[in-house]
Amino acid sequence: SFDSLAADFYGFENTLTDEEKGFLLRLREYLDSEIRPIVNDHWNRAEFPTQLIRGLADLGVAGLAWEETRPFENSAVFRGWVAIELGRVDASVSTYIGVQNGLAMGSIAACGSAEQRADWLPRMASGEVVGAFGLTEPLSGSDSAQGLRTTARRDGDNWILNGSKRWIGNATFSDITIIWAKDEADNQVKGFIVPTSTAGYSATKIENKQSLRMVQNADITLDNVVVPDALKLADANSFKDTARVLRATRADVAWGAVATSIGAYEAAVKYAGERVQFGKTIGSHQLVQDLLAKSLGNITASLALCMRVSQMQDEGIQRDEHSALAKAFTTSRMRETVAWCREIFGGNGIVTDYDVIRFFMDAEALYSYEGTREMNTLIVGRAITGTAAFV
């Protein structure tokens, strides 16, 4: 039977339906038996467990959000809890789905034509086609709304893409990458479904990452890549369209930050109940209980915020600044929480055998990707004051 997480102190999960709880239970069982036992080894070796692609697809996780592919009608709140189950096991696992379902399928769902949706979403939900999302560039990260250098030039029935991308998740093994490029004709950002087998496209793994080591990030080069007009995302015609995709995925990252906090917290609660110092378990010492209680407070406040942002998404009233505040707030609370939880382990807190350091390190990537804290803060600042302070 489905047991609510102890970290869900106020029982938010109880609002889910039995069907949703059944789905979460099957996912939890799969992750506990197939993925949890191998994550530290893969993290240490910086390898992605490719069996995850089929495993999550078979459970229906990859297509959950989209009408064409979902196993049953479900809410953004429920998908938040799916992110919790994934991320409390490992942040690279939730990032894989964040890229496949949220960013890559999300771009096609939000900006694709009916034909493009029907053509790609089912194949991506089944794991047959893996996607990546190429927005960031070597010279343009936070300023990608205006600073993209990658260009798209219309040439008859085709587009010619030139430029480079950096940090692109899943991109060492993706079958397609959504490439965002500036149209030379009108200087607007447009989106393209680029099959990675296309001549002139190449991806190289970024080595030596100390955060999200299991996620395969790549540098991409586009050298006169020819893309048929049929693969230009029909409704991706300015950065406002890119932002529609990010509005949903930033809320997903907010949930991912809570999941990472919960992963570290669960490890810390267990360790505090086992490790004995001064003749009693360290969890019996007041100052350790203080760290656990503060962590639970951060998790609870962040969960409440995520629940509301996703409800607003379900109600169709969520704006960019709602996702931005949730992302900035929960990732900041996560950074405190994983540090407090790591502290509870003493020396053992810095070897991956005890899990907590993996959450601690992975938190840094979540803090910076999908808009840094500063960028998301400026989106909120613009909403508060009416003045954009980015430039």
The reply to whether 381 sits near ligand FAD by the rule CB under 6 A is no
Q: How far apart are CA 41 and CA 46, in angstroms?
A: 8
**Which is closer to ligand FAD, CB of 99 or CB of 160?**
99
Per the CB < 8 A criterion, the answer to whether 237 and 175 are in contact is: no
Q: How many C-beta atoms surround the C-beta of residue 76 within 10 A?
A: 21
CB 213 within 8 A of CB 364: no
Q: ∠ CA(151), CA(181), CA(175), 5° rounding?
A: 115
With binding defined as CB under 6 A, does residue 374 bind ligand FAD? Answer: yes
- Taking contact as CB under 6 A, which single stretch among the options 80-88, 107-115, 295-303, 366-374 is the one that binds ligand FAD? 366-374
Least distance in Å: CB of 378 to ligand FAD? 6
Rounded-to-integer distance, Cα 207 and Cα 314, Å: 39
Query: Which stretches of 345-387 are DSSP H helices?
Result: 356-368, 373-385
Q: Which residues pair with 190 in a beta bridge?
A: 181
Interface size with ligand FAD, residues (CB under 6 A): 22
Q: Smaller CB distance to ligand FAD: residue 287 or 391? A: 391
Q: Which is nearer to ligand FAD, 203 or 212 (CB)?
A: 212
Contact of 372 with 142, CB cutoff 8 Å? yes
The three-class DSSP label of residue 18 is helix
- What value, to the nearest 5°, has the Cα angle with vertex 105 and ends 242 and 25? 125
Q: 212 and 236 in contact (C-beta within 8 Å)? A: no
Chain positions 204 to 243 lying near ligand FAD, rule: CB under 6 A, are: 212, 215, 217
Binding-site member from 106, 134, 256, 283 for ligand FAD (CB under 6 A):
134
Which residue is nearest to ligand FAD, using beta carbons?
A: 141
Residue 245 CB, shortest distance to ligand FAD, in Å, is 11
Closest to 134 (Cα-Cα) out of 182, 93, 191, 185 = 191
Please select the residue that binds ligand FAD; options are 74, 92, 107, 136, rule is CB under 6 A: 136
Phi, psi (degrees; rounded to nearest 5) at 62: -70, -25
Closest CB 81 distance from ligand FAD, rounded Å = 23
| Among the listed residues 66, 133, 201, 360, the single contact to ligand FAD using CB under 6 A | 133
**Near ligand FAD in 161-190, by CB under 6 A:** 167-169
Nearest CA-CA partner of 16 in 76, 62, 78: 78
Nearer to ligand FAD, 24 or 104 (CB): 104
Compute the least distance from the CB of residue 151 to ligand FAD, in Å: 17
Min. distance of Cβ 98 from ligand FAD in angstroms?
A: 9
Binding mask 82-121 for ligand FAD (x = CB under 6 A): -----------------x----------------------
Question: How many helices and strands (H and E) does the chain possess?
Answer: 13, 9
- Give dist(CA 318, CA 253) in Å, integer: 15
CA distance 88 to 266: 8
Interface segment toward ligand FAD; rule CB under 6 A; list 22-30, 34-42, 151-159, 367-375 = 367-375
Contact stretch for ligand FAD (CB under 6 A) within 30-38, 65-73, 272-280, 371-379? 371-379
Beta bridge partners of 220: 165, 203
Contact between 369 and ligand FAD by CB under 6 A: the answer reads: yes
Site residues, ligand FAD (CB under 6 A) = 99, 133-136, 141-142, 167-169, 212, 215, 217, 365, 368-372, 374-375, 390
